[in-house]
Amino acid sequence: QLKLVESGGGLVQPGGSIRLSCAPSGFTLANSAIGWFRQAPGKEREGVSCISKDASMTNYPDSVKGRFTISRDNAKNTVYLQMNGLKPEDTAVYYCAVSWRPTSGICSLTKGWYDFWGQGTQVTVSS
C-alpha cells in the first residue's frame, strides 16, 4: 500500500524553527516533484513550497519566502521543509504531495498539480 508520511510537526513559539519531513512507503520520491501545502481552519489549502524532481527548481509564495526552505535527500528518500521565523499565522496542518508528471525542472504551488497526498502534520505557533 502506498503511503506518504509527514512528521516533525508540533508546538513552537513565535520566532522559532521546526523541520518537517516527508517520506514515502512503497515507492521512491526520486522521480517526483514534491509540494508542501498547509491548511488552517476555515481556509483553503495553500502551497508553501515545492521542489522539482531534479531539485533544479524551488518555489515559495511571498508569505514564506526567506523563512521556509525545501530540500530533498534522494538517498534517504525524504523531502524536508525547514521553517524558520515562525509566526502565529503559520499555524496549520502541513501536507506533502507528490507529482508523477514526467517533466523535470518544474514544480507547482497549485494543489491540482499533485497526484498523491500525505495525511498531514499539525504545526502550531503560539506562546
pLDDT digits (tens, 9 = 90+) for 9-49: 999 999 999 999 999 999 999 889 999 999 999 999 999 99
By the 8 A CB rule, do 73 and 4 touch?
no
Kind and range of the H or E run holding 3:
strand 3-7
Please state, as a whole number, how many other Cβ atoms lie within 10 Å of the Cβ of residue 85: 13
Would the pLDDT of 93 be above 90? yes
Over its C-alpha atoms, the chain yields an Rg (Å, rounded) of 14
pLDDT tier at 106 (50, 70, 90 boundaries)? Answer: very high
